[in-house]
Amino acid sequence: MGYSYDIKVSLPREEAPANGFPVYYMLDGNSYFQLGRDVVKLQSRNAPKTLIAPGIVIGIGHYGTDEEVSKRRFFDFTPPAKQYVYPDRLKNADIGPHGGAEKFQSFLELELMPLVSEKYNVDQQKQVLFGHSLSGLFVLWTLFTRAELFQYYLASSPSIWWNDHEILVYAEQFYNKGQAIRYDKRKLLITVGSEEAFMVDDAKVLFSKLSEHSLPDLQVEHYIAPDENHASVVPTIMSRAFRMLNR
């Protein structure tokens, strides 16, 4: 990548089950690793009720100032495109280079995930990718382009707006391809806060489009968190998102 990531790991104290531990890959680990770690640690103490079993939590964070992190996020989490259309709020903003999602996806597939599987006892059928906002966009794009990489895709307030809603094109291509390619037990959860204005509408549009199609091995759910905004929604939806592994 020509870049160093801040990788944090939380391991269960329990002995691993026969198939290994589920693993949660948390994008924007600077912000969400600790929250994901604590949800798993606390709720796995009573897994029969919480439906959250002991698991490995991997935080994938960025180094640098807020501005440096913001620019790197735009590079890592946005798909490549021949041209980009920017909303008015970004037209005069310096967001740095973008379109590096393929490279970042390769880093996950070829470097990070094999290393995690080598070092820890991982259940290869319970690997989760979680992202919020721009990293939520990356979660969707990874499902639509490389669904085999993870079994569970958790997209919180995804930036569906990026590049004039281009992710909707990827969704359509995914379903056209998916008619011939079966994916075993893939799940997607799209969440958004009710106070997120246009992002609520975007999430509804995407869910509606996904619901028009029917792939037998892909389960899609949509949840709007009442009274939550873009900054507050993640703590509200985290437990619901992680429970998806055992629903």
Q: Which residues are catalytic?
A: 133, 196, 230
* Phi/psi at 7 (5° precision): -100, 120
- Find the DSSP H helices in 112-166: 113-119, 134-146, 162-165
Sign of the C-alpha dihedral computed for residues 133, 170, 127 and 62 taken in this order: negative
Burial class (CB in 10 A: 0-12, 13-18, 19+), 92: exposed
- Would strands 21-27 and 218-225 be described as parallel, antiparallel, or unpaired? unpaired
Q: Which amino acid is at 61?
A: G
Please tell me what DSSP assigns to residue 16. P
CA separation for the pair 145, 202 (Å, rounded) = 20
